[in-house]
Structure 1
Amino acid sequence: MDGVHRAGVPGVYAEVRDAGRTWRGASGVADVRTGRPVTPDMRQRVGSITKTFTAAAVMQQVEQGRIQLDAPIGGYLPQLVPGERGKKITVRMLLNNTSGLPDYIRYAFPSLQDMSPKSLDDNRFRQFRPAELIKMGVDAPPAGEPGATPGVYSNTNYLLLGQLLEQVTGTTAEKYITRNVIERAGLRHTGFPARPRIEGPHSRMYESLWGLNDPPRDYSVYNMSWTGTGAALVSTMEDLNRFYGKLLDGKIVNQASLAQMQRTVPVVALDGSLIEYGLGLHKVAIRDCGTFWGHDGTVWGAGTMSLTRADGERQLSVALNLQRWNKPDSSGKPQHHPIDAALKSLYRQVMCGDANAQAEKAHNMSPSTSVTSRPAAAASTPDGWGAHTGR
């Protein structure tokens, strides 16, 4: 972790669990101006890790018979996905990102298409409505045919799932997820933010936006209505490890639902990488180290990844307070940065043991960081598995 900090991340903090033992650590600063240090218990905007919580809530409603996985979303929300499209796209397709609905982020933040950070500042305190964002995705050119693989990662899918939860439960999706997922898991520091400022101890969150913000800009104060049930949660590394441990142990959804969540298909992440995606879960197979389940995510200035080995015995949840540090070369391709190598070493050591002895065995490890698998944070927009926006 010190290596990640020395490579250029202001602050990094994590919790690792291994066969009943727990390690927590932090390196660097939470505020580059004052030098205030990061600590392992800080709260973080965890981006698309939120998607696992939303998917678990949907599966609970599947268990109760209120939602059918293979029913068309147009039967539940005809006003949001009308016509033939609504008849072809199923709930399962929304969950595993094979709906063909494109991501709305580029339309909510139009300056990104011109490689400008203007939209990020313009939207800092803007209150988006879910239906407004969903319409941006539904009205945009399709990313693919419903049900076709590889799927295309899209935050539009998970805002629709939030609206579906509201339709069948009679309460807001945020309230349902809080009562039936967050509280059921016994999480004490996890929740949807009620205002732009995070409550409790947290770091500032620095967004480089591929060098367009120089120096990186602090977006720790931000209205998260732009991502809602797709990527708005605030949590701690301890809470994330607890949540995924309980989920994979069948304590949040039943074993039949968990088996459905772990049925993966190939999906193109927002950073262009190909990932194995289930129903709100990523599958990461690391040669000679095991199979891990979890998610990653980024929002403006904050990147997080949480992985749990299939046997539940080894877990990592790690947070970074800098995102999109890879500046493009003359052709527009993101350049390699020392942070990338430092993160790869950290992941190898945590997941496989000794970093040097296992380097060759783990060379194909996928997680980075996005909307969000990859080395933590080279996404096209916030959040992905490695670096996606709103992932």
Structure 2
Amino acid sequence: MPAAVAVAVGVMTMGALAPPAAFAAPRPEAVQQGLNALVHTDGLPAALASVQDRPGHTRTYTAGVGDLATGAKVPRDGQVRIGSNTKAFTAVVVLQLVGEGKIGLDTPVDTYLPGLVRGEGIDGRHIKVRQLLQQTSGLPDYTPYLSDDVRYYEPRDLLDLALQHKAHFAPGEKWEYSNTNYVLAGLIIEKVTGRPVAQEIDRRIVQRLGLRHTYFPAPGDATIREPHPKGYDRDAAGAPLDVTEFDPSWAWSAGQMVSTNSDLNRFFTALMTGGLLPPAQLAEMRTTVPAGEPFASGARYGLGLVSTPLSCGGVYWGHGGSMTGYETRGGVTEDGRAVNVAVTTQPSDKAAMRHVERLVDAALCR
């Protein structure tokens, strides 16, 4: 696996634990204090947050430094790689096509990609589109089999890696997170529309909502276009390693996108209030099954959308993402509060990620 792909897209623990005192206060300064703690106590290079209240007013926060080499400030609401939040965008496009009568949720994958999905215990004639989006297909994840020697992957290369391994279970038998599901969803979008998945996401979601800081990087584009904090990993000696720039093609429609916390809040708010899907398709997206690892106890997975219990009651809806150099967590409540938090490394310390998740919970429970 490439060094820049040390952690799979979407590998996350979206906990909903009761926030400790340091994260629990509902005042705006408590969000800042929470970010400061992530930097000074947990040792993360930078942390950013965007908090949107019910009327739609937004506050943004930063902590840490945006560039460890220069000490540059963290850009307010800077762009980050959003990892598996991309899955929610991909799922929305599929569900829009369902609403248009171009895709059937309970239609076999083989109808759209004839003969493509075959392997040991794997047959696209027996896997439904719904099971891709719901993560119940049984398809193995390709991510552990990525190579250090490959810098650019075509989507079919990713699928080929997965199909070299046997099915983990029969379709619909259980739930298991696999990026392969969303690569196939992207391929179905392209087959049905005749256009690149990036173009469809841009046309149907990004432009429609005016997400000015959100995009799907073009092939070979290793940069982040607008002001952004640098993303970091650790080298063999434990020193921070700048991994901001790389080709994210290995993530494709499962996790390639770049955005900001505020744009993510706008996206999930529009989605949950009916701004992107007809009622029938939004109801399908919100129909969930119990989710196991890597999600926390109580989390449930819909069609590219996760519900996570709140310590103050109810749930919030989002997805979250893990991508080389960055982690993002957040979502929106039923009554319109929205929070997204990003940090500029993938913490190896699970306690640090629990603190990120608790900060999301505290901000939504204010």
Query: Common fold, TM-score beyond 0.5?
Result: yes
| RMSD of aligned Cα (Å) | 1.9
Q: Distance in 1 between matches of 2:299 and 2:110?
A: 27
Contact 1:74 1:82 in 2 (8 A): no
Could you tell me how far 1:156 is from its partner in structure 2?
0.2
Higher normalized contact order (CA 8 Å, seq sep 6+, divided by chain length) = 2
Which of 141, 164, 173 is residue 148 of structure 1 equivalent to? Answer: 173
Match of 2:343 in 1: 320
Q: Distance in 2 between matches of 1:177 and 1:341?
A: 31
Unaligned runs of 5+ in 2: 1-34
Q: Is 1:276 equivalent to 2:314 in the alignment?
A: no
**Which residues in structure 2 correspond to 1:222-261 (within 5 Å)?**
222-261=246-285
Q: Is 1:3 equivalent to 2:37 in the alignment?
A: yes
Q: Is 1:18 equivalent to 2:53 in the alignment?
A: yes
Q: Is 1:99 equivalent to 2:137 in the alignment?
A: yes
Q: 1:252 to 1:103 in 2, by over 3 A?
A: same
Could you tell me how far 1:270 is from its partner in structure 2?
4.3
Q: Deviations over 1:264-323 (max 9, x none)?
A: 1123334787741000000112143321100100111111122100222x1101111011
Of 74-83 and 199-208, more deviation after overlay is shown by 74-83
Match of 1:136 in 2: 161
Could you tell me how far 1:78 is from its partner in structure 2?
2.1
Q: Is 1:205 equivalent to 2:231 in the alignment?
A: yes
Of 73-82 and 97-106, more deviation after overlay is shown by 73-82
**Which residues in structure 2 correspond to 1:362-373 (within 5 Å)?**
none
Count of aligned residue pairs for this structure pair: 326
Match of 2:364 in 1: 351
Could you tell me how far 1:344 is from its partner in structure 2?
4.8
Q: 1:341 to 1:96 in 2, by over 3 A?
A: closer
* 2:284 aligned counterpart, secondary structure: helix
Could you tell me how far 1:347 is from its partner in structure 2?
2.7
* 2:319 aligned counterpart, secondary structure: strand
**Which residues in structure 2 correspond to 1:71-86 (within 5 Å)?**
71-82=107-118, 85-86=123-124
Contact 2:329 2:356 in 1 (8 A): no
Of 185-194 and 44-53, more deviation after overlay is shown by 185-194
Q: Is 1:43 equivalent to 2:69 in the alignment?
A: no
Q: Distance in 2 between matches of 1:168 and 1:264?
A: 26
Unaligned runs of 5+ in 1: 110-118, 327-335, 354-391
Q: 1:341 to 1:299 in 2, by over 3 A?
A: closer
Q: 1:245 to 1:341 in 2, by over 3 A?
A: closer
The one-letter amino acid of 1:246's match is A
Q: Distance in 2 between matches of 1:289 and 1:273?
A: 15
Match of 1:380 in 2: none
The one-letter amino acid of 2:280's match is A
Q: 1:275 to 1:136 in 2, by over 3 A?
A: farther
Contact 1:66 1:168 in 2 (8 A): yes
* 1:27 aligned counterpart, secondary structure: strand
Contact 1:207 1:213 in 2 (8 A): no
Q: 1:145 to 1:323 in 2, by over 3 A?
A: same
Q: Is 1:177 equivalent to 2:177 in the alignment?
A: no
Match of 2:17 in 1: none
TM-score (norm 2): 0.85
Q: Distance in 2 between matches of 1:341 and 1:186?
A: 32
Q: 1:274 to 1:147 in 2, by over 3 A?
A: farther
Q: Distance in 1 between matches of 2:74 and 2:89?
A: 26
Contact 2:341 2:360 in 1 (8 A): no
Q: Distance in 1 between matches of 2:365 and 2:241?
A: 35
* 2:213 aligned counterpart, secondary structure: coil
* 1:184 aligned counterpart, secondary structure: helix
